[in-house]
Amino acid sequence: MPEYALQAVGLTRSYGAVRAVDGVSFALPKGGSLGIVGESGSGKTTTARIVVGLEQADAGEVLVGGARRASAVRGRARRLARAREVQMVFQDPLQSLDPRTSVESVLRETLGLHFPGRDHTPRVRELLDQVGLGPRAADARPGGLSGGQRQRVAIARALAVEPAVLVLDEAVAALDVSVQAQILNLLADIREQTAVGYLFITHDLGAVRCVTDDVIVMRQGRVVEAGSTSEVLGSPRHPYTRLLMDSVPRPGWDPARIAEARRTL
Ligand SMILES: Nc1ncnc2c1ncn2[C@@H]1O[C@H](COP(=O)(O)OP(=O)(O)OP(=O)(O)O)[C@@H](O)[C@H]1O
């Protein structure tokens, strides 16, 4: 029996008549990396938000390390313990980082909250090092950093709490292609060094190829295909997966043919 960091079982969530997430199940092995791909509106973000606890499912459950993840908890200690289960990194870290707080203070604040009474200096250094930020970045404010550097800070802050799972929602989508590659390499390195597991949400099949072992493909709230990333992207079975792959622009690409395929799907 493989040990799972995270399991989703039959997650369902509707907004009015829209079934944003419709019976979604998946399992992320400890230290594994699972991609969720699909077009805009397929339910990826809603699934992520349910896993993190920012959204409540109408049905289904989320398990972390085999134990049911409570939808809401009372008390500071339990809230912090719950936060250590799953951390999230968003597309735009500027929205989650206080522009006036230095990088070092951001990390110290998080460490102080989760691990009070310790000397956090070595851990701050270690985290900066882990995300490839030199000691000079410690004094910088998020507003003075590049997009890639800010995303490194957001990753460091998430790692500071030593979560079982990092949920990365379009975490490289806003970055230039070369910076995307750096962050994807960084994520691969971090996974090798730590036991953290990734739930990697993206519309970008190239990114999924770089950082995931397994992938699920979502369409209209449902999982239409699931398997190892190399299998699913190497020989996609579902017409929708093939369509996603064909939709990636490349030489000889014909948008009219894609539009026609989409109509008949
Ligand atoms: N808070 C909300 N209120 C109403 N409808 C919502 C809400 N959140 C999501 N939806 C709807 O649920 C569906 C799935 O949205 P979701 O954001 O999960 O998809 P997505 O695959 O993450 O897309 P994107 O990449 O554009 O964020 C969409 O039809 C969306 O309009």
Ligand 1 atom nearest to 43, measured from its CA: 18
Mean pLDDT of 10-33: 97
Looking at residue 73, its pLDDT comes to: 77
CA distances to 137, 178, 195, 209, 235 from 228, rounded to whole Å, are 37, 26, 20, 10, 11
Q: Which residue has the higher pLDDT, 52 or 255?
A: 52
CA distances to 111, 116, 124 from 119, rounded to whole Å, are 10, 9, 10
Are 34 and 215 in contact by the 8 Å Cβ rule? The answer is: yes
DSSP states along 185-212: HHHHHHHHHS--EEEEEES-HHHHHHH-
Considering the chain, what is the average pLDDT of its residues?
Answer: 90
Tell me: the pLDDT tens digits for 190-240?
Answer: 999 998 999 999 988 889 998 999 999 999 999 999 999 999 999 999 988
Question: Which residues, 6+ apart, have CB-to-CB distance to 32 below 8 Å?
Answer: 5, 197, 198, 213, 214
Query: What band does 249 get if pLDDT is binned at 50, 70 and 90?
Result: low
Looking at residue 78, its pLDDT comes to: 86
Of 11, 13, 14, 18, the one to substitute when testing ligand 1's pocket (max ligand atoms within 8 A of C-beta) is: 18
Ligand 1 atom nearest to 55, measured from its CA: 1
Q: How far is the CA of 220 from the centre of ligand 1 (A)?
A: 10
Amino acid occupying residue 122: P
Tell me: the pLDDT tens digits for 78-125?
Answer: 888 888 899 999 887 777 788 889 999 999 999 999 999 999 999 999
Query: What band does 250 get if pLDDT is binned at 50, 70 and 90?
Result: low
**With a 6 A CB cut-off, is 42 part of the ligand 1 pocket?**
yes
**With a 6 A CB cut-off, is 45 part of the ligand 1 pocket?**
yes
pTM of the model: 0.90
**With a 6 A CB cut-off, is 181 part of the ligand 1 pocket?**
no
HSE of 211, CA atoms in CB hemisphere, 13 A: 31
57 alpha-carbon distance from chain centroid: 18
> Is 2's pLDDT higher than 80?
no
Task: Write down all domains in the chain, each with its CATH number in brackets.
Answer: 4-234 (3.40.50.300)
- Torsion angle, alpha carbons of 4, 6, 10, 12, to 10: -170
